[in-house]
Structure 1
Amino acid sequence: MRFRLRVLPAILILLGLNAKTLRSQETLPHLEKRGEATQLIVDGQPFIMLSGELHNSSSSSLAYMEPSWPKLAAMSLNTVVTPISWELVEPTEGHYDFALIDGLLAQARQHHQRVVFLWLASWKNGESSYPPVWVKREAHRFPRAMRNGNPINTLSTLSPATLDADARAFTAVMQHLKEVDSKDHTVIMMQVENEVGILGDTRDHSAAANQAFNSTVPAELITYLKTHKDTLDPELRDLWVANGQKTSGTWAQVFGNTSRADEIFMAWNYARYVQTVAAKGKAAYPLPMYVNAWLAGENSTPGDYPSGGPQPRVIDIWKAAGSAIDIYAPDLYQPNFTWWSNRYHRPDNPLFIPETVGGAAGAANVFYAIGEHGALGFSPFAIDDFDEANKDLANSYSVLTPLLPIILEQQPKANVHGFLLDQTHPSVEFPINGYIAHVSLDQIFGYHSEKGFGLIAATGPDEFIGAGKGFRVSFTSRSSNPRVGIASIDEGKFESGKWIPGRRLNGDENDQGNYWRFDPRQIRTEKATVYQFE
């Protein structure tokens, strides 16, 4: 009996610790499907990253970063996206230095910022400038990809030694983050490598790569193609079908002897490598992880952009190679923001924009990405320039910040929509909370809208919040009757979650009750109520 009495408190303590550990794991940042939306959950609550990515080298110095943090916070950012590099983490093999990571975390916490770390390791922008010098020197141990019989500044994906070294270092980073950040959750996501792929050629032509290319396509890839045939990206499915929908053969036999087969081959090999690095890191500390893509330009061919990176047409190849990567994300500098957003936002892939333009374009695009695609975050590059162009972005972020709770609440119900309007696409319509919203460019007081942007969210049975500029809205019923009128429009703002109305807008400001209008001269937040009548 005495033994039992002595042991019981110890058991209870252990149970308490285990429960605490389980609660900590449950509240780790993670992705969660909620209704119609996939949301990033941070500290148990959905979270949208209004973020920006720093210049490549800014965060390599704590002293350099020190004056930047208050400026970033003043731009209404809630998250900073910044590199950490293999060369600084493991300057000599097997010896890790986490002082820079710890310093960045301390600075971010001081200024109430979340962080997304970019693991710049084997590849960055298709080349290998970020591995430690001990990796760069030992080319026989860590071989390079080959072009025209010569090694290039790109590590080969087919080297087990390189994969093992990269994965060990990344795992050490994730283990350290678990030790120093599992309570604070300052780091909410990790990018693994950066814009991977072969530049200047369609594929690696090393001896190992040639042998693999002329070997049989792995059975697990063929199985994935067969199992997911109906949901494959149309470009990939059409290519496979056009080549006979073969279920065995070499890469050229299954996908055709073209640059497309080379790209698919490289996508498989980069994906196997990156998925392995991510999986080992997640085993230490399971944060959400993503890879980013340098997008193909119009009429470009593999090698003009990094061949093998997660372009939309090869995302399924990446998925067949593993499941450790949660998000395939576009670095979206190309024109036609809406087209690319639609290509990356799939039922099995939430949209995240880790790099893009800022300025006036970014200030508009963020409304569309978050409103229409439920983007997990939006992150213009070179956010630490603090130039005049970023004032537009900062203004959009300041308008969106108090709206985030409403947006996050309505996303699972599909009651949020965003839009980008111009002379080519001057109008859009969508269902929202039992109505059809008709949105178009507007002209008011002599100011003609060449462009307009914004988002609308439902906040009640007949009530809507809108934000943006340069557009007008009317509503119709989803059935032929009854008709819909505008009951009231108020401009205003949120303070501590409470709506503070300003002017009641009527007359010219709502076209005599016919339209909910947003002035093209500046971003406004407005609330509208509607009514139905026969």
Structure 2
Amino acid sequence: MRTKYIVLALFFLFTVVSQAQKTPYLQKKGTATQLIVKDNPYLILGGELGNSTASSLEDMQWVCEKLQKMKLNTMLVPAYWELIESEEGKYDYTLVDGIIELARKHDLKIVFLWFGVWKNSMSCYAPMWVKENYQKYPRAVTKSGQPLEILSAFSQNNLELDKRAFKHFMNHLAEVDKTQQTVIMVQVENEIGMIEDARDYSKEANKLFTSEVPKQLVDYLVKNKQSLRPQLLDRWEKNGFKTKGTWTELFGEGLETDEIFMAWNYGLFIQEVAQSGKNAYNLPMYLNAALNSRGRKPGAYPSAGPLAHLLDIWRASAPAIDFLAPDIYDPGFTDWCKQYHVNGNPLFIPEIRLAEENAARVFYAFGEHDTMGFSPFSIESVTNPEEYPLTKSYKILRQILPLLSEKQGEGKTNGFWFDSEQKERTIERNGYTFTFKHDYTLGWNPQAKDGNKWPETGALIIELSKNEYLVAGTGVVVTFGNTKKDGTQTGIGIIDEVEFNDGKMRPLRRMNGDQDHQGRHLRIPAGEWSIQYVKLYDYK
């Protein structure tokens, strides 16, 4: 009997230890992909730090205090290769460890951004001993033969350097954080891409460009022909869907083919770097993209990066990368979201231009695209943290994160975003119609008619049951109808403004009379934030 208890005790101990050491991972849930941390879904209410802020622990003290006031749960923080390995083979993690400790004290998680071989195309974060030894660690070359401040992806020496340093970094994270799991994900490099030209014209690159397209890529194209991104499929189709030949024979002449070739080789490089890191500590890893916006051609934007139209090339060449993510600084927010939330690639927004409009956009991202997280850039530069609009949105979202996690992937949510041009959208659920509009469409606000640009507003809806819903956001008005043809009308039974504590909903006030316009609509005025529960009923 005693032996039996000893065996059970050892089994229990082993189980506890195993669970404690289980690293964060990604898991499919219906149509969504969720980040799982200590066996629970984790949605990121984040902010990315400016490039140099995290180089000072003194600065990081006040930064963490500010982020806590802004209701963030996660900060995206650079990890600088030049500071970690300022001397070859000698590693200093004083800064990394200090940031992890500060994050723990302020109840923040961390996504580390590996500023290694490439950061915004360039190799500015390589240590001096790498930069100076350009013969051993060669640069990418333009078509005219000009070397660039970009370490070549076609150099084995460059690859081995990045692999070694990144593996050492990930091994250190495992040693100091595997149990507490403050670090939940890693971005590999930052905004990879060629500039000035669409591809590298070094001797090694030119040789490969005139060689046959690797069988690994051709096999992927054939296998996934029905789901390839349209731009890639179109170029392949125009050249007869060939399965053997050089890059120009399969994809034609032009900058677009240069970009495909370069993306493939960037991917092969990153695959080895990422896999070496995962072998040390298997955290989720992603790549972020500087977008191909404003009608620019490859090379004018960072060519061959992890762009939506190159999703298949990156998937085929770098399977160790879990997903691609957009850095959104240009107009077209909803379109960028749609481009990246495609073919099983989950939406995560690691960077978006810091702007008050993000307070509306974040609701759209979570409600419409089951996003894993949202993260404005240079978040620490906000001057009014407690009154900043995004703070108010994060305060609301923090309350409903467990409910959002539960509903993700089940088709139970939608997101809405409005401005001066996009003012209205109608959806249908369970035979009911929900018409969301910009609050200014009511005409009650003087600014609605004075010719000024309307502020961006946004909200999300969560289906609780067939006739019960939550609406959370800012600056929207919602009316309700149905699709029945028998004369049945839909009425508002109850609207309560609510809050959530520990996952439990608590009514704050009944929104009736003037607040729901005598039963005509649900409203969250522009400049205000709210979570409202609505119960519908039918009548004739």
TM-score, normalization: structure 2?
A: 0.93
Q: Could you tell me how far 1:20 is from its partner in structure 2?
A: 4.5
Which stretches in structure 2 are left out of the alignment for 5+ residues? 449-453
**1:433 and 1:458 in contact (8 A); partners too:** no
Counterparts of residues 65-84 of structure 1 (less than 5 Å): 65-84=60-79
**Aligned equivalent of 2:451:** none
What SS does the aligned partner of 2:277 have? Answer: helix
Structure 2 residue 485 is the aligned partner of structure 1 residue 490: no
**1:414 and 1:432 in contact (8 A); partners too:** no
What SS does the aligned partner of 1:412 have? Answer: coil
What SS does the aligned partner of 1:351 have? Answer: coil
**Aligned equivalent of 2:408:** 411
Q: Distance in 2 between matches of 1:89 and 1:361?
A: 36
Q: Could you tell me how far 1:506 is from its partner in structure 2?
A: 2.2
Q: Distance in 2 between matches of 1:380 and 1:45?
A: 24
**Aligned equivalent of 1:468:** 473
Superimposed CA distance per residue, residues 438-469 of structure 1 (whole angstroms, 9 cap, x where no aligned partner): 21223264456534311111223321111222
Distance 1:532 1:142, change over 3 A: same
Which stretches in structure 1 are left out of the alignment for 5+ residues? none
Q: Distance in 1 between matches of 2:362 and 2:53?
A: 24
Distance 1:403 1:13, change over 3 A: closer
Distance 1:133 1:175, change over 3 A: same
**2:30 and 2:409 in contact (8 A); partners too:** yes
Structure 2 residue 535 is the aligned partner of structure 1 residue 529: yes
> Which stretch of the first structure deviates more once superposed, 64-73 or 13-22?
13-22
Q: Distance in 1 between matches of 2:390 and 2:500?
A: 19
Distance 1:36 1:433, change over 3 A: farther
Counterparts of residues 87-486 of structure 1 (less than 5 Å): 87-147=82-142, 148-388=144-384, 391-432=388-429, 435-442=432-439, 443=442, 445-447=444-446, 450=454, 451-477=456-482, 479-480=484-485, 482-486=488-492
Superimposed CA distance per residue, residues 17-59 of structure 1 (whole angstroms, 9 cap, x where no aligned partner): 654453235x421111112321111111111100000011111
Match of 1:81, as an amino acid? L
Structure 2 residue 506 is the aligned partner of structure 1 residue 510: no
Aligned-pair Cα RMSD in Å = 2.2
> Which stretch of the first structure deviates more once superposed, 439-448 or 143-152?
439-448
Distance 1:524 1:16, change over 3 A: closer
**1:490 and 1:503 in contact (8 A); partners too:** yes
Superimposed CA distance per residue, residues 461-488 of structure 1 (whole angstroms, 9 cap, x where no aligned partner): 3211112222222233455454321101
Distance 1:240 1:498, change over 3 A: same
> Which stretch of the first structure deviates more once superposed, 449-458 or 181-190?
449-458
Structure 2 residue 48 is the aligned partner of structure 1 residue 43: no
Aligned residues: 528
Q: Could you tell me how far 1:415 is from its partner in structure 2?
A: 1.0
**1:490 and 1:502 in contact (8 A); partners too:** yes
Q: Distance in 2 between matches of 1:342 and 1:306?
A: 21
Q: Could you tell me how far 1:504 is from its partner in structure 2?
A: 1.8
**Aligned equivalent of 1:57:** 52
Q: Distance in 1 between matches of 2:162 and 2:194?
A: 18
Q: Distance in 2 between matches of 1:398 and 1:270?
A: 39
Q: Could you tell me how far 1:388 is from its partner in structure 2?
A: 4.3
Q: Distance in 2 between matches of 1:12 and 1:468?
A: 50
Superimposed CA distance per residue, residues 331-380 of structure 1 (whole angstroms, 9 cap, x where no aligned partner): 01110100010000013210000000222221111111111101101000
**2:227 and 2:343 in contact (8 A); partners too:** no
Superimposed CA distance per residue, residues 287-323 of structure 1 (whole angstroms, 9 cap, x where no aligned partner): 1100000001221001111111011111110001131
Match of 2:496, as an amino acid? D
**2:112 and 2:186 in contact (8 A); partners too:** yes
